[in-house]
Amino acid sequence: MHYLLVASLLVILILSFVVYQQHGKIENLKNDLSHDPLTGLKIMRNFEKKCLTVMSHVEKKREMSALASEEEHVSRRRKHSHSVAFVDMDGLQWTNNHPEFGYVIGDRILVALANILNRWRRSDDLVVRRSKGGDEFLLLFPESSKTESERVLLENRKRFEKVIETRFPGLAGKVSFSFGVREIDLSFTETQIAEAFENASKDMHDWKDLRKMDRKVSCLSGEEL
């Protein structure tokens, strides 16, 4: 009987170890599917749902604040806005195809942009890479108007262009990023938030075209890019 008990315990221990290993593999697989291996940012298939969750969380935190009266809460809820942004890198394809730079440098500047977007964010802000292999990012700015969010992104663009100028002087003036911003609120459905991202993408492309035109005019006038 003693040997049977010991054998049973060993079997249980072995099975527990196997289950633990499999659980670890599953968790690693989930992490691989949800995180971009290059930038370390998350990749979310249903980012719109996550936006609703975060906005709701932020609203509840504000309502629980002991510093504001009930009237102030009502006023804030009516006036308060959140914003989503669509960010796309400028010049990445040119860098990847250039014989002097190529994909290695392209990956490095993509990581540099991801680091800046992720570093200069508040605790409730969200930054995700739209897809593996792409150069587009989706952002949520809770408690921020369109104007406020655009200001943050313009500041980040200056930081990014400074990094390019310092680390990759040959790419200065050729690599940057464009963006579009739209406001949303808790009354939006997931479909409406998806439409806001789509409209932000259209705004981003409009700004990208204008920036390209500005560069062409600068070249024709003899100015540095």
The ranges assigned to domains in the chain are 47-215
For 49, residues 6+ apart whose C-beta sits below 8 A from its C-beta are 190
173: left (phi over 0), alpha (psi -120 to 50) or beta: left
- What does residue 78 show for φ and ψ, rounded to 5 degrees? -70, -35
Please give the helix or strand (H or E) that residue 4 lies within, else none.
helix 2-34
**Which pLDDT score, from 0 to 100, does residue 157 have?**
97
- Look at strands 176-184 and 126-129 and give their pairing: unpaired
Indicate the SS3 state at residue 106: helix
Q: Are 182 and 200 in contact (CB under 8 A)?
A: yes
**Which pLDDT score, from 0 to 100, does residue 27 have?**
42
**Which pLDDT score, from 0 to 100, does residue 26 have?**
39
Partners of residue 126 on adjacent β-strands? 140
Give the residue ranges of the chain where pLDDT is below 50.
18-20, 22-33, 75-78, 217-220, 223-225
Which residue is it, tokens 């991801």? 114
**Which pLDDT score, from 0 to 100, does residue 33 have?**
45
Model confidence, pTM: 0.76
**DSSP class of residue 174?**
T
**Which pLDDT score, from 0 to 100, does residue 113 have?**
97
**Which pLDDT score, from 0 to 100, does residue 3 have?**
60
Class of domain 47-215: alpha beta
**Which pLDDT score, from 0 to 100, does residue 64 have?**
75
Q: Are 130 and 204 in contact (CB under 8 A)?
A: no
